[in-house]
Amino acid sequence: MSTDQEYWDACLIKTWRNDGKLIDAFTMFNSMTNRTVFDRDERLLRTPPHTVPLKLRIRPYVAQHLEKISRRLWDYAPEHDVALLKKLQESKYDTTKQATNPDRELTNEQKRTSTNRKRMAMKSLQYSVRNQATDWGVTKPTGRGSRVGRR
């Protein structure tokens, strides 16, 4: 490995395989190159935005911002990591500006459930207040009170 970009990609992959945190990838990169990821003239590809917390686990970060790499790491064994590094060396693939949601079906189902709950609450409220505008002061005795004296 010769460039800082290759070192950064290797740190990302190794930290992902070890199920570490973003800070682990940063410290690994710093120990290999004696430089930080952000204090550079030319920005490295696949670096997290400044708003991402450093104590975030690496797997959710890669899944949200680098979907293709995440899928590749899940699908292939660690023996294929060298091939992935070679592919990334030629690639201009970068982090997405906005976090993607890999589980869209779950989000859609949560929205549907929330909407259904609101509908049911409104329907229930309609039934409970449907006779409040009327002036029907009808009082009916309970069935039990009228039967007690008989026998």
pLDDT given at position 52 = 84
Please name the residue that has the structure tokens 């670096």: 47
59 burial (CB, 10 Å; 0-12 / 13-18 / 19+) is middle
Average pLDDT along the chain: 83
Model pLDDT for residues 111-136, shown as the tens digit of each residue: 888 888 888 888 888 777 776 666 56
Model pLDDT for residues 15-50, shown as the tens digit of each residue: 999 999 999 999 999 999 999 998 888 889 999 888
Tokens of 116: 């259904």
CA distances from 131 to 20, 50, 81, 95 (A): 61, 57, 70, 58
Whether the CB-CB separation of 56 and 22 falls below 8 Å is answered with yes
Q: Is the pTM of this model over 0.75?
A: no
